[in-house]
Structures are given as structure tokens and as C-alpha cells.
Structure 1
Amino acid sequence: MKASDADILIIPGYTNSGPDHWQSRWQAKLSTARRVEQAEWSKPVRADWVARLVEEVNAATRPVVLVAHSLGVPTAIHAVPEIAGKVAGAFLVAPPDVANPKIRPKHLMTFGPYPRDPLPFPSVTIASRNDPFGAFEHADDIAHAWGSLLIDAGESGHINGESGHGPWPEGTMVFAQFLSSLPPVRRRTEASD
């Protein structure tokens, strides 16, 4: 699949992704990418965030590719029962351990625990070995449950602007490979009309 064949939904996490974040850069570069805007970035409510994502998926005119970071990951996973038929794939980066009572702010725990059902579409999960919001072992466990390909990002912090991942060229390459691995979109021909 080519990027132009998909509606690429950028799903930021807690407090949104700033202008230097790789998600914002990708949104600016990919003509079919758009951000899932939340009404409340600093006091997220799981039901509201999930409902907003479902709205955006339902508004899509092409197959959807999800690009979630941090709290955007559980948002996407909790939405799966309502969006599965329209999603071609998911690129899940730095999933936080939202069931960990040590997570701050504490209200982020309302996004946990993660559903553990296998995802009905291809996915990649990228996790860091020193992410302050989620242990690598946790990411490994949930990626395995989802049937997601886990990519070890080494010691990359939370894979955001603060950890030096503004441009994130390695992520761009992995995303391009992931997109190319998705089945191409079949175009209707006049003969089949």
C-alpha cells in the first residue's frame, strides 16, 4: 500500500504532540495524514478519546492506517471493536503501561488495562528499553498478545521530542516498510461496475 492509498490517522498521546514531535512532522509531510484532535488533551477521558477516534475512522474515505504514540496506543486498542473493518494496519509507538499504579498522572490508569485480543489487522509495536512510561517487558507481552510485530528501539526514552526523536528517520523507514507490506488497495474498474 502507498501512503496516498490510505487515510493515515495520527493519534497523539497525553498533552498532544508538539511541533517538533515526529507525529507532527509526519502529518506535515504525508498528504493523506490528519490528526485525531481531542477536546481535552491534559485531562483525557478514555470514552471521549475512543469515541473521537471512532468518528475519524468512520469519516475516512480510504482504508485507515493508525499511527499512535503513547496514550494514543490504548485509545486505538480500545477502539478496535468499533473500527476493525476499516483499519488496514496500526503503527503503535511507546505504549505506556496504563495498568501500572505508579504511572503519573494517575488518571491515565483509566485507559487500562489493555485488551489482549489479537488485532484483526497487521500491526507493528515499537518500544524502548528505557521508556519511563512503560517497561519493555510490558510492551513485549502486549505486542505478543495482539499478534503485533515488536521492534526493539533500544534505549530511546519515550520516543518523542524530549528524547531526541523529532525527525526520527529510523521510524520513518520502519513506517515506510510497514506501509509497503500492507495489501495494495484494489481499485474498482469500469468492467466491475
Structure 2
Amino acid sequence: MSQSPTILIVPGLRDHVEEHWQTILERKLPKACSVAPLEHDKLSCAARVEALQQTIAKIEGPVIIVAHSAGVMITVHWAQKYQRPVQGAVLAAPADLETPLPAGYPALDTLRDNGWLPIPRSRLPFPSIVAASTNDPLSTYERASQYASDWGSELVDAGAVGHINPASGFGAWPLAEELIRRLG
């Protein structure tokens, strides 16, 4: 009998938001955990990659990563550096950090200075699904499609769902569970 995977939540730069679908998903699923918020170096890509590594290193057995926004970029940076087997990854609403972001988000210079750029474009060493919105303010659908192609990911059109976050009207996001099942 095979062991069921642990679902590892990788949040974006806003970390844990109570009404976010990732937080709701973590509470709902029996084998789920999350990368803890950083106390220092919150904009450091390297610090976030190391936080992901510290969390995943504690998990025994299969893992499915569920990342959102900048969490997707944390995951692809992590995959460039570490070799731990991963059963699969749901990469939701990847933030295009190479294009100027809307007001209220870090500037490109800040992201570049903190190690986020360039975004890794190598094929991921595990199965993955990029779920992209057709009207995401943080990435065009075309850009998300290019990421999916570069990473060897299946692309799922999530519809006109904004950034798939509370500001876009999302608390629970049932599609996330469906995509996890596809990787399971």
C-alpha cells in the first residue's frame, strides 16, 4: 500500500493570509503543512528557498507542492538548487516578477537585488501543473503559458479569476484539490 503524499503549501510574498485558499486547504487536508513565514529577510529569494528546503527536509515520504504567486518562483528556484524527489507540484498564478508589478508590490530593482531574477526557465525535475488566470494582474496568461512550457508543466486555464486570491474573491478554491488529485 503506497503512502499518501504530504501536501506542502508554499505561499507567496504576503505569506499566510487567513482567508486565502492555501490556508483553507491546509486546514482541510489531513496531511498538509506549510512553509512558515519568515521573520527576517522577507524579500530575500534565497531565504525563502532555504525556508522551503528546511520544511521539505522534515517530511518523510512523498510530497506534492502547492505554490501560489511568488511561491511558484520560490519553488522553481528551489528545484534548481535541491534534488529531493517530489511527486508533483501545483503552481497557481505564477507572478511575473520580470515585469513591473502593480502598486503595492516590490519594484523590479528590489526583486533583482534580492535574488529573484532571472526566473529559472529549466524543465522541472517533477510533474507539475501551472494553473493560470486569463486576467491575472500579476502575469499575463501568455507569460504563464511560457513558464509552463519552459518548466515542462501542464497548463490549466483557470478562467478569468484574477490572481486567485482573496482580493479576486477567492477563499476556497476547489480546483486546487482537483489538481492535487491529478498529481496523486
TM-score in terms of structure 2 length = 0.88
Mapping 1:136-151, distance limit 5 Å: 136-151=141-156
Aligned with residue 124 of structure 1, among 118, 129, 141: 129
Larger Rg computed on CA atoms: 1
Q: 1:175 maps to what in 2?
A: 180
Letter in 2 for 1:117: S
Superposed CA offset, 1:42-79 (max 9, x none):
94210100011011111111122110001100100000
Residue 97 of structure 1 deviates from its aligned partner by 0.6
**How far, CA to CA, are the matches of 2:84 and 2:71 in structure 1?**
19
Residue 177 of structure 1 deviates from its aligned partner by 2.5
Q: 2:164 maps to what in 1?
A: 159
Higher helix share: 1
SS in 2 for 1:126: strand
> Does the CA-based 8 Å contact 2:9-2:35 persist in structure 1?
yes
Corresponding residue pairs, total: 178
Q: 2:106 maps to what in 1?
A: 105
Q: Percent identity?
A: 39
Letter in 2 for 1:135: T
> Does the CA-based 8 Å contact 2:20-2:171 persist in structure 1?
yes
Letter in 2 for 1:58: A
Mapping 1:13-92, distance limit 5 Å: 13-40=12-39, 43-92=42-91
SS in 2 for 1:51: helix
Residue 81 of structure 1 deviates from its aligned partner by 3.1
TM-score in terms of structure 1 length = 0.84
Letter in 2 for 1:25: I
Residue 153 of structure 1 deviates from its aligned partner by 1.1
For structure 1, which runs of at least 5 residues remain unmatched after alignment? Answer: 180-193
> Does the CA-based 8 Å contact 1:88-1:122 persist in structure 2?
yes
Seen in structure 2, the aligned counterparts of structure 1 residues 81 and 170 have a Cα distance that, compared at 3 Å, is closer
Seen in structure 2, the aligned counterparts of structure 1 residues 52 and 153 have a Cα distance that, compared at 3 Å, is same
Residue 18 of structure 1 deviates from its aligned partner by 1.3
SS in 2 for 1:52: helix
